[in-house]
Structures are given as C-alpha cells and as structure tokens.
Amino acid sequence: MSRPIRRHLISIDDLDVASLHRIVRRGADFAAGRCEDARPLRDAVVGVLFRKTSTRTRTAFSAGTLRLGGRLITYGPGDLQENTGETVEDTAAVLSRMLDVLVARTAGTEAELRAFAAQRRMAVVNAMSAAEHPTQALTDLTTLLGRFGRIEGLRVLYVGEGNNTASALTLALSRYPGTALHLRTPAGYGVERRYLDRAAEYAAGSGALVEQRHDMADLPEVDVVYTTRWQTTGTTKPDPDWRLAFEPFRVDKAVMEAVPGALFMHDLPAHRGDEVTAEVLDGPLSIAFEQAENKYHSARAVLEWCVGGGPAGAGDA
C-alpha cells in the first residue's frame, strides 16, 4: 500500500513555485465558494498546538479542519509532556502515530518546528514562529488574488516593523513576476538580511523588486499599503524608547493620500492610533477584515495541500 502524501509547511521557502501558486489559487477558490463540497480531510485527525495567543490563525485552522471533514484535537501551552522534559523528537514520534497534521504555534524557533517535522507520518504547519509567519503570507496572496484577479505586477508598500509577517511576505511576493515590495521599516527593526538575500535570488528569476528603506520619504505608486502591529504578538523590545523610532511609520490619512487609489491591508490584531489610525483601518479603502476572513480560506488550502488532497496538479511530486 502506498503511503499517503504528507507535506510540511515550515517556511515559504519550503514551497516550490508550483506549490505556492497552487495553494494561493486554491485559497481564492475557497474564498469564492467554488469548492465548498471538498472533504479532503475525511477521516483525518488534525492537532492544533498553540503556546501563544491567537484569534485568526487558530480559528481558521480549527474551522478549516472541521469544514474539510477532519477531526480536531487542541493543545494548550501546558498540555504536552515537553513541559516535564520529554524531547521534541519523542513528542513528534508519538504524535505522528496518531495525527495526520500538526498545526503549531510554539514559543520556540523554526528549529523546533523542523524537529517536529523530522518524521514521515505527520504533516507539520508553522502557524507562526519568531522569524516567519508563512500562513499569513499565503493569506495575503490569496487576498491580493481575490481582489485584483492577479498577483503578477502588483505593487505593495509595507510600513512598520520587519517582523515575521514581513519576512514571509518578502519570500512569497518576490516569486511572482513583475511584483514590487517596498519595505519601509524603522532603522534597527528591518527585515533580516537572510530573508532579503533569499528574496533577491527569487526576484532575479521573476523580475520582481524588493527594496528596504528606513524612511517614509518619496513614497512610490502602489496598489496596496500594508502594516502590522508595532509590538509583534508575544515579543518585547529592549529599547524603552522604541516608539520614537516607530512614530514616523504610522499609516494615516496623509500616507494614504500620498498613494492615491491604494487599498489598505493589516494582518490584525490592530492598535488604532499606533501603527494605523482608525480613519484608515475602518475606512472604505481597508480590506483588513476581508483579509482576516481569507485566513480561514487559505488555511483550508494549506491543509488540503498538506495531505495531498484536492485537484491534481503541479506540486504533487
């Protein structure tokens, strides 16, 4: 008997171009209601492990599992025997004999998620690590595709901290032909060089543009302005005066007027008055809550891909 397909998603960098495009297209299909009868997780069991708070990602993968016909087991921060000294590898060896997919937001690094994925039975999904938030980037691309009917050639202005969301978006958007990602981040809070270098490699092949600056002068023409919380969930900043560095990077009416016609995106949760004003977040150009709903549609596409379900196509090797 052939072994079921199990694919891990720890980083956007794990996806080949065909798989990236497939997941995004499928997410858009789910969002458009074109595949509501899909049940690729029938008889599958999905574990959801969250050691940090989550509204959108946890709910999206939980609801997505149930809607795709799967069964759900949830774990809180203190539920597994790792808290008593069991190794990640031993925990993964046990869980992989009972679960088909593990969706995990841990307090550790990508290395911990790689350790969970060092087995062949259970797919592992990174639901946010300190360095990267891959499922958020897939949500963002699903939102862009649904709104514009394409991703190729779109121009995005990302404003604020170069956090795990920005890192994932950098890796993802740079793989689409002709796209432009303009990162405007406070000095000392930019996207890490390793992500910029990897994105540059992708951009060299796709004709995309990725640039990072540490000011808000001379904003380019763009289709979307994107920001995130200044204080990334579960983190702190060592500089007590960090807000002074971030103040110029607030998305307000003046920023939106400098890029006329651009839509506004935010991965949420939002702090009105910090990274974005209420006027922008709740205004007519904001698609932040549509973006949040797409986390659910994109989660279904990710889960389907992880278990090898859905329509056959490129990326099924």
Q: Are 264 and 300 members of one domain? A: no
Partners of 278 in beta bridges: none
Radius of gyration in angstroms for the set of CA atoms belonging to the chain, rounded to a whole number: 19
pLDDT value, residue 1? 36
CA atoms within 13 A on the CB side of 275: 24
Number of domains in the chain: 2
pLDDT value, residue 314? 42
Residue 316: pLDDT band by 50, 70, 90 thresholds? very low
Report whether pLDDT(107) > 80: no
What is the span of the domain harbouring residue 107?
Answer: 12-132+296-306
Q: Are 84 and 203 members of one domain? A: no
Report whether pLDDT(313) > 90: no
pLDDT 10s digits, 232-246: 766 788 888 999 999
Task: Name every residue whose Cβ is closer than 8 Å to that of residue 73 and which is 6 or more positions away in sequence.
Answer: 45, 46, 47, 48, 99
* Structure tokens belonging to residue 225: 């302005």
Of the ranges 85-94, 110-119, 258-267, the best mean pLDDT one: 258-267
Residue 317 falls inside a structural domain: no
- Distance, in Å, from the CA atom of 49 to the CA atom of 308, rounded to the nearest integer, reads 22
Partners of 227 in beta bridges: 159, 266
Please report, for the domain that includes residue 213, its CATH number.
Answer: 3.40.50.1370
The pTM of this model reads 0.94
Report angle CA 55, 57, 63 to the nearest 5 degrees.
95
